[in-house]
């Protein structure tokens, strides 16, 4: 099963897990209302494709060097980025050179990240078991180094 980030966050929220407020955008007509619904001064426009490395990815023929996850400091900047991303092809390490068309965006509240954790649940069909992987990046971790993983 493949879930987009916004779908996973909807499921978490329905089960009383606190998540940042966000709005999925499926077409150009929804951009303005989605941006206007975010009340924080900083917001993030995120491409929703089934591939990792969205933030480090690049859009084909975009003319800029920005990735598929963009931190925005005004509503106008968020609207502009959303229009530049929706319907465009994002190339990441996992998509290969062909890339994937961004048919969905997720516009989310910004926040001051104090600490990051990464959690993954993997279903092993051969053994009918679930493996849980969690990563705790060290304080000085940069995106160029690998996090420490506890399994």
Task: Report the CATH number that the domain containing residue 68 is assigned in CATH.
Answer: 3.30.1490.20
Q: Are residues 38 and 95 in the same domain?
A: yes
Q: Are residues 55 and 73 in the same domain?
A: yes
pTM beyond 0.85, yes or no: no
Please provide the DSSP assignment of 118-144 as one string: EEEEEEETTTTEEEEEEEE--TT--TT
**pLDDT one-digit tens code per residue, 16-55:** 999 999 999 999 999 999 999 999 999 999 999 999 899 9
Q: What single-letter DSSP state applies at residue 146?
A: P
**pLDDT one-digit tens code per residue, 64-78:** 778 999 999 999 999
Q: Are residues 40 and 98 in the same domain?
A: yes
Q: Are residues 95 and 127 in the same domain?
A: no
Q: How many residues does the chain have?
A: 151
- Distance between CA 97 and CA 94 in Å, rounded? 9
Q: Are residues 105 and 33 in the same domain?
A: yes
| Residue 135 domain boundaries | 118-150
Q: Count of domains in the chain?
A: 2
Q: Are residues 89 and 123 in the same domain?
A: no
**pLDDT one-digit tens code per residue, 59-118:** 998 777 789 999 999 999 999 999 999 999 999 999 999 999 999 999 999 998 777 788
């Amino acid at each position: 099963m493949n879930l987009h980030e916004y779908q996973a966050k909807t499921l978490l929220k329905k089960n009383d897990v606190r998540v940042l407020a966000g709005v999925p955008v499926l077409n150009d007509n929804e951009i303005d209302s989605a941006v206007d619904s975010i009340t924080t001064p900083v917001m993030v426009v995120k491409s929703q494709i089934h591939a990792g490395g969205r933030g480090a990815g690049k859009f084909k023929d975009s003319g800029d060097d920005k990735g598929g996850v963009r931190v925005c400091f005004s509503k106008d900047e968020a609207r502009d980025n959303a229009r530049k991303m929706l319907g465009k092809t994002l190339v990441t390490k996992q998509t290969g050179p062909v890339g994937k068309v961004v048919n969905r965006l997720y516009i989310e509240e910004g926040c001051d990240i104090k600490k990051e954790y990464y959690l993954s649940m993997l279903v092993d069909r051969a053994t009918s078991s679930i493996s849980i992987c969690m990563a705790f990046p060290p304080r000085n971790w940069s995106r160029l180094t690998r996090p420490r993983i506890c399994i």
